[in-house]
Structure 1
Amino acid sequence: MSECLTLSQPPLVHAKTIEETITELVPNPDLASHAKSDPCLIAGEIDRFFSQHPNCQALFLPRLEWQALQSDAPWLSLFLGDRLTRSQFYQLPALGIRHTPSDRFPPELIQSVDSAGLHPKRPPTPKGYVYERFDPVSGLHISFRVFDPKTDMARFTKWMNTPRVAHFWEQAWPEERLHEFILERLADPHILPLIGEFDGEPFGYVEAYWASEDRLSPYYDAQPYDRGIHLLVGEESYRGSRHFNTWMRAMTHYLFQDDCRTQRIVLEPRHDNERLFNRIQEVGYTKQFEFNFPHKRSALLMTTRYAFFREQW
């Protein structure tokens, strides 16, 4: 877990209201010294302020007070003396994402599978933790890391053979077969297999994928940078709306942060997963339609960048 997830107490910024939804935010003198040892601190303080003031839609950052902090947070230079909206802030790769975003990878069109047309070549799979954030609303540390076959297989096998999970995934297989499945996932450039953690404790498995190369693409108007999610919560103690809303918002946040060209994120669960349909609406996803895969009847769920950052943050 990264040290930059821990927010200071008390806050290192102070504010005064300018208008009903706009606040002037000024750094306290101690912020500069703390930020030298914690590169995420400035973004973390702004995150905490937005989280504790849900009616605040924008910040005004006075140039004189903030300009000395630009070396610790280069993105500040884009907004000094101007408004930084809530939506803009959470789209910045300044908080959460832990690797070079995919949109930094130079575009090149290729065709990797016969069932899909030309699509952008995808960047190499990142290593270790890809996203970490302390969520001030739930009070939980949420993180995602790349699946490690050496340490995660036994736990993953247990999860996949749980009757609740097996009902929807239909992969209640022995560990040897699941190991082959994971190695295939790790070798596939369009899929990123992840383990989700709360406070460092694994709770579930998530696959993030590029939809245009996926089996889903023929069933809707897939765009080159659409992302998709397959998910399961393996640990019973981490089920429920509090945990689901926290990790699902975080995963959606990560995928939008990872590539600014991604405008939509989709899921294709079984059509009868009513519990998921009801819960995921709270995170901004809506059901588009139902369709038939060869192996199951599914529902297409979708959120957009605009809707997510306007409604969820």
Structure 2
Amino acid sequence: MRFGFRPVDPDADAALLHSWVILDYARFWGMQSATVGQVASEYAQLQASGHHRAYLGLEGGTPAFLMERYDPARSPLHGLYDGQPGDAGMHLLVSPPRLPRRGFTTAVMTAVMDELFADPAVARVVVEPDAANHKIHALNARVGFRKQALVRLPDKVAWLSLCTRRQYTDALRQLKPGRAAILEGNAP
């Protein structure tokens, strides 16, 4: 599976994003009762913020997931953990599957982590999923995230979890041994 990324266009992509965030499995996004207009407004504000950006992940040109990258120092996480230069916050929402495919969500997550760590300024990825979102906790652990602490945010109680470049590479060794060698610059 190969994925590309493009910035979210709040107006053009609002109906698509709305169709995802209103589904039951996306309840942790807190937008189930949002209108298309509210989704467009939310993403317009986010894209204009200068510190929080949203991207559609594309598979063969078709939107497959939503990834948000943000600066944790300019988020509700500020002051709740030992933030460091090189931290990049991330949110992920995978589109509803037309047909379930084994390994798809893990492939999406590794594409997102590869994209974040492609920026040499990123040393660590920070996530804060809802404490009750057990599926994302398992996915996060699979790619190297380690839970740090339960934190109370304005909209949820969340597991603050961190993943360094090294932790991600170590996790990749288990998932995709050849990919880990490429990331470390040790490809045969």
Q: TM-score with structure 2 length normalisation?
A: 0.84
Q: Structure 1 residues 302 and 241, CA, compared in 2 at 3 Å: closer, same or farther?
A: farther
| Aligned equivalent of 2:45, options 181, 184, 204 | 184
Q: Which is greater in Rg? A: 1
Distance 2:144 2:100 in 1: 19
Q: What amino acid is aligned across from residue 265 of structure 1 in structure 2?
A: V
Question: Counterpart in 1 of 2:163?
Answer: 303
Tell me if structure 2 keeps the 8 A contact 1:145–1:195: yes
**Deviations along 1:94-147, whole A, 9 cap, x unmatched?**
xxxxxxxxxxxxxxxxxxxxxxxxxxxxxxxxxxxxxxxxxxxxxx12111100
Other-structure match for 1:256:
117
Alignment-derived partner of residue 147 in structure 2: 287
Distance in 1 separating the partners of 2:158 and 2:167: 23
Which residue is equivalent to 2:131? 271
Q: Aligned pair in 2 of structure 1 residues 190, 253: CA closer, same or farther (>3 Å)?
A: same
Alignment of 1:33-72 (within 5 A): none
Residue of structure 1 in register with 2:175 after alignment: none
After superposing the two structures, state which structure 1 stretch, 203-212 or 263-272, moved more. 203-212
What is the aligned-residue identity percentage? Answer: 27
Deviations 1:266-293 (A, max 9, x none): 1101001111111222211121221211
Q: Indicate conservation of the 8 Å contact 2:14/2:37, yes or no.
A: no
Task: Decide which of 18, 21, 38 is 1:160's aligned counterpart.
Answer: 21
Q: Secondary structure at the match of 1:186?
A: helix
Q: Deviations over 1:78-100 (max 9, x none)?
A: xxxxxxxxxxxxxxxxxxxxxxx
Given that 1:212 and 1:222 are in contact with CA atoms closer than 8 Å, whether structure 2 keeps it comes out as yes
Q: Which runs of 5+ in 1 are unaligned?
A: 1-139
Cα pair distance change 1:300/1:265, threshold 3 Å:
same
Counterpart of 1:151? 12
Task: Calculate the aligned-residue CA RMSD, in Å.
Answer: 1.7
The aligned amino acid for 1:294 is P
1:65 corresponding residue in structure 2: none
Question: CA 1:238–1:292 in 2, change beyond 3 Å: closer, same or farther?
Answer: farther
Aligned to 2:184: none
Q: Does 1:170 align with 2:30?
A: yes
TM-score of the superposition, structure 1-length normalised?
0.52
* Aligned position for 2:58: 197
Higher relative contact order (CA 8 A, sep 6+): 2
Contact 1:233 1:239 in 2 (8 A): no
Distance 1:309 1:216, change over 3 A: same
What are the ranges of 5 or more consecutive residues in structure 2 without an aligned counterpart? 173-179, 181-188
What secondary structure sits across from 1:280 in the alignment?
Answer: helix
Q: What is the aligned partner in structure 2 of residue 108 from structure 1? A: none
1:210 to 56, 71, 82: 71
249-258 vs 265-274, which deviates more? Answer: 249-258
| CA positional deviation for 1:241 | 5.6
Aligned length: 172
Is contact 2:11-2:40 (8 Å) kept?
no
Residue 223 of structure 1: aligned partner? 84
Structure 1 moving runs of 4+ over 3 Å: 237-241
Q: Distance in 2 between matches of 1:182 and 1:278?
A: 27
